[in-house]
Every structure is written in C-alpha cells, then in structure tokens.
C-alpha cells in the first residue's frame, strides 16, 4: 500500500543535492527561464521546490520546480527553499503527476513519456490512470502519441503546433511512411475543423491510392469520384477478407495465442463487427448464403 503523503517538512537545501525527477523530460523554454531569473533576482524564490528524498540515494529528486532550480543555478544561489515529500517511490510519482496537473504544466507528450516510465516500474494501466485522474482507455490513447506518431509529427505536438485531439486521430495512420505528415498538411491547408479532420482521416484509411492522389490536388478534402456505394462496399469487404485470412495464418503459425493476442484491440474489433452485422441484418432482407446453409449465429458466421 502506498504511504501517506506528507509535505510538512520544509528545508533550505543545497542546489548541488537536487536532481531532476526521472519522469521529467529535458525540454525547457529559454524565455521562461530568463523571466524566472529576473523575478528570483528581484524578490527571491517565493515558491519552494517540491522534492523527494530517495532512500537509496544521497540526492533529492525534484518533483516540481525544474525551471526554478535552473534559474537559481544561473543566479549562482547555493541553496533554495524546498518542501520535502515523505513516502515511497510510487508516492513520489503520484505527487509529481498531481502537482503538475494542478498547474497544468504537463504537455501530452510529457504525459506519454511518464506513462512509459510508470509501465517500466510495473504499474498497471488502471493504476496509472488513477494518477492522472483518467481511465485506462485515456492512458492507452496518450501512450499511442509516443509509440505511433512519426517523430516529425510528434515534434509538432511537443511544440504546440499540433493539437492533442488531432494527434490522437493521426495515430490511426501508418507511422513508417509520410502519410501522417501528408494528411496533417492537407488538414492544415483546408483549415479543417476537429470533426472534419476525424472524418477525413477515417476516409483516408479506406481510400484507394487513386482517391488519395486525387484529394492531394483537389480544392476540397472530399473530392467526388464516380464510384457507387456497391463498388466501395465490395472493395472494403475484399480488404476485410484479406485481413481475416492473414490473421488466421498468423494464429496458425504462432501457438500459445493467450500469451500474445492483443485483447484490447480484439475486443474493439469484435464489438464493432457485431454492430455492423446488426445494422446490415436490420436493413437487408434475407440472410447471407453461408448463414442459410449453416444456421449459425451471427457471431459464428462472422468469426
């Protein structure tokens, strides 16, 4: 069980005994540091740093105050006022999260890096979500910003050029080519709203190479192509059939499926497919041929 947090202890600690938290990303705004240098030089350090003493080390880890300590060092201050958090490492990580959340000083990429750090410490998705006051699905989505964004697109997010909601949608696109950058450029060019961006990315994932090339030179995000809904549906179903066949081959060639099958993604696909089957059956008379022959349930017929 996590120890109770206590911040009653206050001390004047030497700057040389303070080090960055392992959760902190080494990125700083030079302008903000200079503003703090001027402020601290004039009135002193009004707000103490928040630090944690690791029992296995001699130094204190900074939980909140990474900019202030850099300003203090530039002013060549030998010591700074600190509030000392008493507790175990999990306690210190929770305090780090919540202190930054209160000050709204965490960027989405920093949150993603922290999530990876927590996972490396053996914490569960649910536990990490508790730290950030979000659920497991939010943790998973934030993590994708780090794992599935192309580095150049991720840099746009770090610099504030790209909004987290749009970045989350871009993670649906392949990371190992230029599609994320290309789609982002198109959305920016056409000044797409959030809803339009979401719809366009979903469209792009289903689009053919011909359609993608057309939209790159079109004056609108959704150029009208002379293709009927039957042709589009047939194309999607053909792609779907290929995906299912590939998955079946993968399962046959890799035993112990319980140890590696991505259950979260499978759960989403499973329920989406059931929803699609229900929609089709409620609008089309009769049953698929294989369903008539086998008289199996809708789920069995699909899977």
Looking at residues 279-297, what average pLDDT do you find?
63
Asked if residue 160 and residue 78 are part of one domain, the reply reads no
| Max intra-chain CA distance, the chain | 85
Range of weakest confidence among 9-23, 51-65, 228-242, 269-283:
228-242
Q: Are residues 74 and 193 in the same domain?
A: no
Residue 172 lies in a domain: yes
What's the token pair of residue 281? 């059956």
Shared domain check, 40 and 20: yes
Domain boundary, last residue among 145, 171, 190: 145
**What is the Cα–Cα distance from 80 to 77, expressed in whole angstroms?**
7
Query: Tell me: the pLDDT tens digits for 27-66?
Result: 566 788 898 999 999 999 988 999 998 777 788 999 988 8
Give the pLDDT band (50/70/90) at residue 164: confident
Does 39 lie in the same domain as 170? no
pLDDT tens digits along 80-113:
999 998 888 888 888 887 777 655 566 788 788 8
Q: What is the reported pLDDT for 277?
A: 87
Q: Structural domain tally of the chain?
A: 3
Local confidence band at 232 (pLDDT 50, 70, 90 cut-offs): confident
What's the confidence (pLDDT) of residue 49? 93
The answer on 98 and 86 residing in a single domain is yes
Judge whether 203 and 209 are in contact, CB under 8 Å: no
Q: What are the Cα distances from residue 76, in Å, to 16, 69, 71, 72, 79? A: 11, 10, 9, 6, 9
Tell me the β-bridge partners of 81: 12
Give dist(CA 302, CA 291) in Å, integer.
Answer: 9
Residue range 144-170: mean pLDDT, rounded:
88
Residue 82 pairs with which residues in a beta bridge? Answer: 11, 49
CB atoms within 10 A of CB 187: 22
At which residue do the structure tokens 């809708």 appear? 298
The domain in which residue 155 lies consists of: 148-216
Q: For 150-159, 184-193, 234-243, 288-297, which range has the lowest pLDDT when averaged over its residues? A: 288-297
Taking CA atoms, 162 is separated from 82, 144, 184, in Å, by 35, 15, 9
The residue behind tokens 């998705």 is: 125
Q: Over 90: is that where the pLDDT of 116 sits?
A: no
Within a domain: 237: no
């Amino acid at each position: 069980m996590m120890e109770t947090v206590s911040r009653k202890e206050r001390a004047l600690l030497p700057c040389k005994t303070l080090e960055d938290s392992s959760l902190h990303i080494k990125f700083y705004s030079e302008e903000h540091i200079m503003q703090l240098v001027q402020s601290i030089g004039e009135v002193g350090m009004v707000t103490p740093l928040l630090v944690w003493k690791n029992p296995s080390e001699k130094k204190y880890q900074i939980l909140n105050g990474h900019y202030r300590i850099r300003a203090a060092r530039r002013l060549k201050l030998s010591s700074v006022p600190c509030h000392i958090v008493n507790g175990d490492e999990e306690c210190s990580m929770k305090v780090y999260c919540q202190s930054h959340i209160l000050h709204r000083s965490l960027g989405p990429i920093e949150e993603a890096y922290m999530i990876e750090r927590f996972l490396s410490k053996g914490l569960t998705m649910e536990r990490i979500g508790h730290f950030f006051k979000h659920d497991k699905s939010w943790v998973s989505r934030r993590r994708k910003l780090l794992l599935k964004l192309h580095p150049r697109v991720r840099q746009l997010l770090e610099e504030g050029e790209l909004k987290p909601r749009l970045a989350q949608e871009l993670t649906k696109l392949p990371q190992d080519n230029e599609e994320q950058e290309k789609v982002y450029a198109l959305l920016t060019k056409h000044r797409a709203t959030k809803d339009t961006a979401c719809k366009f990315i979903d469209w792009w994932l289903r689009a053919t190479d011909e359609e993608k090339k057309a939209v790159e030179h079109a004056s609108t995000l959704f150029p009208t192509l002379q293709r009927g809904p039957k042709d589009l549906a047939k194309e999607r179903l053909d792609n779907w059939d290929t995906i299912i066949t590939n998955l079946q081959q993968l399962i046959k060639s890799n035993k112990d499926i319980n140890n590696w099958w991505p259950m979260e993604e499978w759960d989403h696909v499973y329920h989406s497919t059931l929803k699609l089957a229900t929609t089709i059956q409620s609008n089309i008379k009769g049953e698929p041929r294989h369903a008539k022959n086998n008289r199996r349930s809708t789920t069995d017929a699909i899977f």
